[in-house]
Amino acid sequence: GKNNMPHSGDHDIDLNKLRFSNTKLYGRRSELSRLTDICAGLTDESCPKPPEMVVISGQSGTGKTAIANQLREPVKMKGGYFISGKFDISQRIEPYTALVEAFTELSDMITSDIRALFRLKVGIQNAVGTQGEALTDVIPALRRIINREGDIANVSLMKAGNRFKYVLRNFVRAICSPSHPVVLFLDDLQWADPASLEVVRT
């Protein structure tokens, strides 16, 4: 939308006295409402939905990250997990950096809640089977909730990437449910490495 900033001739503004809240959003009510509705639909057990992807686009500094972070508390209140990772142009040669950050956060959330860990661990182990090392080699923090089994030492890089995608998808499915949805926020997707983009596409 248009930025309705006052022109110099309209008002006199003392910028030294102008302060904005770090937590309150201005002029983003409709966008936040749409995102909140999408997240609410994830917890509708009467109408299960497939995974959804939402792209928040806009110029740098327009509040995209702030809008997404406003969902953190509502998702948590619904029993879900809001996790996030940020891509960095200086780390494009290193694959999966934002995913490692996000799923490390998820591991912290699960292991800090004994009931959640007990509820999820068997399902996770069944989902990843003997392929857990495909995840833990990339995301070491997941070793706290995934047993290291199997041997992938001789797997080619391409096969390892495909296996990572496959096992990560099964891992997320084992955690997700209408009562415990997972919302993954990837910031600065334009700096994502090719391997991460392949994961996002799946």
Q: What is the pLDDT of residue 12?
A: 47
Provide the β-strand partners of residue 84.
185
Token output for 194: 């090719």
Residues of the chain predicted below pLDDT 50: 2, 4-23, 26
- Residues contacting 32, CB < 8 A, separation 6+: 25, 67, 70
Domain locations in the chain as residue ranges = 15-201
Structure-token match 């780390």, residue found: 91
Q: What is the mean pLDDT of the chain?
A: 80
Residue ranges of alpha helices (H) inside 11-156 are: 29-42, 64-69, 72-77, 97-111, 114-128, 132-136
pLDDT of residue 39: 79
- State which H helix or E strand residue 158 sits in: helix 157-175
Q: Are strands 81-86 and 182-187 parallel, antiparallel or unpaired?
A: parallel
